[in-house]
Chain A
Amino acid sequence: MDIVAALMDGLWVAVQPHNLALAVIGVVVGLFVGALPGLGSVNGVAILLPFTFVINEATSDPAAPMIFLAAIYYGAMYGGAISSITLGIPGASTAVATTFDGRPMALKGQADRALVTAAVASFIGGTVATLFFTGFAPMLSSVALDFGNPEIFALMLLAFATFIGLGGDDIPKTLFSIFFGLLLATVGFDTISGEPRLVFFNEREQTALLETIGASTQAVPLFDSVSWFSRGIQFLVLAIGVYGIGEMLWTINESRYKVTMTETTISFSRIMAGIVGMKDAWKGTTIGSLLGFFVGILPAAGATPGSLMSYGVAKMTSRNPRSYGEGNPDGVAAPEAANNSASTGAMLPMMTLGIPGSPTTAVLLAGMVIWGLEPGPRLFEDRPEFVWPLIGSFYVSNVVAVLVNLAFIPLFLAVLRMPFTILAPVIFVLSIVGTYAAYDNMYDVWLMVLFGFGAYLLRILDYPLAPAVLAVVLGTTAEEKMRQSLLLSDGDFAIFWNPFFDRDGKGQEWWIAPVTTWIALILIALPIIIWAVRKMRSGSAAEA
């Protein structure tokens, strides 16, 4: 009953005019951001994060900025399907699987049906996940109270392991990406000793360089006696660089500006027919809703693997798997239900454990920290005035999102007809203005563009960059928890993996860290074991 009462209170706050207006604006913005090629929920949330400072000041409501960002997140999940279906290129990585059957449906003249299926499946997935969230979040938060430093570090390790276990990407490149992101997070002042580290181009190096080229510091105005790197590398700088600049450069190269558009018509009767036609997509919707949520709550798994796995399971369990890829509505419903379900699920570890489940929740986490909210085990107990309105807003945003999506489909189609050579410079401009607005200095803007170029070049060579973006957010906490744990154990790593390690009464639930660490280690080793088994099988087959 406590949960029901708290939820009712939260819903009441969520439907207050200012929060409702923010949810509507956020959903509309998110739909556009999600629908625009080259932009996804992470771009929308990252670019619009500075805007929430104004919202916070204007409303004085701690939940209002998060309601706005969560609505963008939801809207983007709905919107991702629009360009997947109509343009044939996914609006975001979470909508990649939607392209597999959405585009063939559009080519068969069923773009309207595909769009309606995607919207309704998204609504069902989002609502199912929110119901799970309401039921399980307080329970998980009370379990999370038992988490000490070793347990949280073990969870972080699990988060990084899921990239490798679930990612399916090139393993050494995924590992490189994780290590690189974690390393970027260490640049600047060490939070424990207070000493600078990895501060490139510091005074000593500047002097050495200037002596080499025979110039003085005054002669080169770019040089400052204090290196800009001592400020650290801000998360948004990397996120906007990778997703705003790098992805756009990659899209320009891949699409060659020839983004083709499918003509389609939308009318009320066709929308209703699409909703009735959802009975053909119930299986995909169910699989996506359930699987998406459970993949979403895994630390650092997120909506992309959730939607891809749901598509795979829906196809695997289908009586007619060959119809997938040819325009099967289940093939649209499964990934769309899953990416919405997973996006809600990913909020759970973010809020209760402080571990983001996706790049977007990583930005949301950063936003919460900026506004003085401390995600973690005590959030539900300490800040109910923030948590329950946010959960209430999930329900509200879902209803708003499906209505706005269905109503605005013709308008989105019109905007998507905008030539890519107009869209691209506007996105570049937004990335640069957004970065400057966030940090008030050109150093971060230059660094962001540099990361963008680097991300583009690495993307051509199939380096996955999402792990780096996630790692740069988790990095500071991961290091802090690891160092504090090792301080507790006098430098003995057994504190992480040995359930019988004597913590001298300093720990709480001793089994959690070892079990989590071992699961993480198995997940890390799993792809290598699978690779070895395949090698052995192919070897024995060759012998036979």
Chain B
Amino acid sequence: MRRAEFVTAIILALVSAYLMWKSGEGPEWDTEYIHWSNTGVNIDGSGPGKGFWPFYLALGMLISCIWIVINTIRRTSPPSRSEEPFMDGYAKKMLLLVGGGLIGFLILIDLVSMYAAIAVFILYYMLILGRHPLPLCLATSLVVPFWLYLFFDIVMTKVQPKGTRWIEDTFYNPAGEFFRGQSLIVIVLFFAVSGAVLALTARSARY
């Protein structure tokens, strides 16, 4: 933990220094701009420049990081005294499996649509990480995205990504036409029926 505390503080200090430098940057189109000239407190009588506030905030970050480094060296903060590893084997494995799953989920959104990606992610999570029975995993991975589709795309008209043109034309456009033609009561019925299916599956799996 101690090494991680030290390394993190150093990395954050470097980021802070970069942000200080970046704050002094001028607009891309101004070729005559002199670096740092926007960080003054009263530029030509018109108050602080646009870089003043971010520059001093980044400086504050840098000073805080130096303080953290000193605390780590003097072992005055709990993580700097801790003998535990920053991440044990379980934490690394979980970060890889859960984090990797999340990254895969995000990549899939553009390829196969938001709702299909949700189905794959829930199936992966429940089956691989949760080791739940397959029928329950399948039911949850179908019902949850269906609920979200009804809620976001149909009821709220907050349209989510639909993947490739072929997926949109083949699946989502006909589904959208069907559900948008229904009344709110029918939509609520769809919610309830799919919920009942999920509950029955969970019960049969003894949950």
Contacts and interface: CB of A to CB of B under 8 A. Distances in A.
A433 B119 CA distance: 13
B79 A461 contact: yes
Contact of B25 (A175, A176, A186, A197): A197
B199 to A, nearest CB: 11
B104 to A, nearest CB: 11
B131 to A, nearest CB: 8
Contact of A445 (B22, B45, B106, B158): B106
A462 B50 contact: no
Nearest to A197: B50
A419 B133 CA distance: 12
B54 A186 contact: yes
A414 to B, nearest CB: 11
A462 B78 contact: yes
Nearest to A248: B98
Contacts of B48: 482-483, 486, 491
Interface in A75-133: none
Interface string B1-41: 10011001000100000010011011110000000000001
Given A198-B23, A253-B91, A422 B60 contact: no
A180 interface: yes
Given A182-B57, A442-B109, A252 B94 contact: yes
B194 interface: no
For chain A, the bracket of interface size reads 35 or more
Contacts of A170: 68, 71, 77-78
B142 interface: no
A183 B102 contact: no
Contacts of A9: none
Residue of A197, A202, A204 contacting most chain B CB atoms (<10 Å) = A197
Contact of B152 (A437, A483, A484): A437
Contacts of A433: 114, 118, 148, 152, 160
Contacts of B126: 421-422, 425
B46 A421 contact: no
Interface of B: 1, 4-5, 8, 12, 19, 22-23, 25-28, 41-42, 45-54, 57-58, 60-61, 63-65, 67-68, 71, 77-79, 86-87, 90-91, 94-95, 98-99, 102-103, 105-106, 109-110, 114, 118, 121-122, 125-126, 129-132, 140, 144-145, 148, 152, 155-156, 158, 160-161, 207
B207 A419 contact: yes
A152 to B, nearest CB: 15
Contacts of A422: 126, 130, 132, 140
Chain A interface helix/strand/loop/mixed = helix
A491 B41 contact: yes
A256 B130 contact: no
Nearest to A453: B99
Given A172-B71, A436-B114, A196 B27 contact: yes
Contact of B125 (A171, A424, A460): A424
Interface in A252-310: 252-253, 256-257
B90 to A, nearest CB: 7
17 contacts: A183-B57, A183-B58, A186-B53, A192-B47, A195-B26, A198-B23, A245-B102, A252-B94, A256-B90, A421-B132, A422-B130, A424-B98, A429-B118, A433-B148, A437-B160, A442-B161, A445-B109
